[in-house]
Amino acid sequence: MSLLQDLNFVGIDVAGDHLDLAVQPSGEYRRFGNTAEGIDELVRFVQAHGAELVVVEATGKLEVPVAAALTIASVPVAIVNPRQVRDFAKAQGQIAKTDRIDAAVLARFAAAIRPEPRPIKDADARELEDLLARRRQIVGMIASEKNRLSRASERVSKDIKSHINWLEKRLRINDDELQTKIKSSPLWRTKDQLFQSVPGVGPNLSQTLIIDLPELGVLSHRAIAKLVGVAPLNCDSGKMRGKRITWGGRANVRRMLYMATVASTRYNPSIKAYYARLKAAGKRPKVALVACMRKLLTILSAIAKTGTPWSYQSAQR
């Protein structure tokens, strides 16, 4: 019996020029070109031998073409966090890294962990995601240029100011495109209106939630807080009881949520009162603010689930 007939779990390491594929439990290894023809050949290989699950790392959009092709072919695909896979490799004593080794680690990860396959976003969602990512890049460039401006000579200052003006125009254009894209979809438009009904929540957080946190309103409040990275995690060992800390999660969502929470402690009566109670109870400002982030996320999750706009009464429940 051919080893190919034992194909169950597949790991694919994605590079700019090629795709390395490994199989568990057979140990089969193949390399395909990262081209339209190579991806088609890879899909045929996987289809011909049947895969229970294919795992691919998130690699800055390089993984999207092969993952989309496999999804279209009805092959279960999970796009996973590279750090999680690397921790898995270290736990197995696998320190060395090559494309072939990484593919094998991904296949073992698929067999051992079996992450849940998730559908690839459609073309409109990917375009919206790209616009949102571009907005973050432009904002970062503006901040960098403003930092340079504070210590630049008069001659260079003129050039920096000109560049800042140009970037701010691009930011306005990007924001207009984001709003147009959201309004073109009845589902996105409704979600945007619901989220922005919450005092302190503006278009930036709303757009980020729509594209970067589709699980909002689907997962439980605790699960969504952990996913974003605002859930307190235990740090205990033996008799030692450490401080509860928050870490990991989706940094882009957490960053936007933080800024919205800061505004909410001033303008949202529910969050403002909650923040004051925590401070009065002796909580440090940072701890109180993270708790408010979690509360605001819980409110937004309930709104996404019920489709009901914000009200002070519902926020108190």
Going across the sheet that includes 18-24, the strands are 29-33, 18-24, 9-14, 53-57, 77-80
Residue 192 CB contacts under 8 Å (≥ 6 apart), including other chains: 182, 183, 203, 206, 207, 210
pLDDT digits over 239-263, tens only? 545 455 555 678 899 999 999 999 9
List, for the chain, all residue ranges whose pLDDT scores fall below the cut of 50. 1-5, 236-237, 240, 242
Q: 181 and 127 in contact (C-beta within 8 Å)?
A: yes
- Same domain, yes or no, for 86 and 201? no
- In the structure encoding, which two tokens stand for residue 15, read together? 């590079």
Residue 179 · residue 161 · CB < 8 Å:
no
Question: Whole domain around residue 216: which residue ranges?
Answer: 190-237+244-317
Residue 101: which CATH number? 3.30.420.40
* Residue 124 contacts residue 182 (beta carbons within 8 Å): no
Residues 111-147 pLDDT 10s:
999 998 877 777 788 888 889 889 999 999 999 999 9
pTM: 0.69
Please state whether beta strands 236-237 and 77-80 pair in parallel, antiparallel, or not at all (unpaired).
unpaired
d(CA 43, CA 66): 8
58-74: per-residue pLDDT in tens? Answer: 887 788 889 888 987 88
* 148 and 84 assigned to the same domain: no
Domain boundary among 113, 144, 164: 113
**For the chain, how many structural domains are there in total?**
3
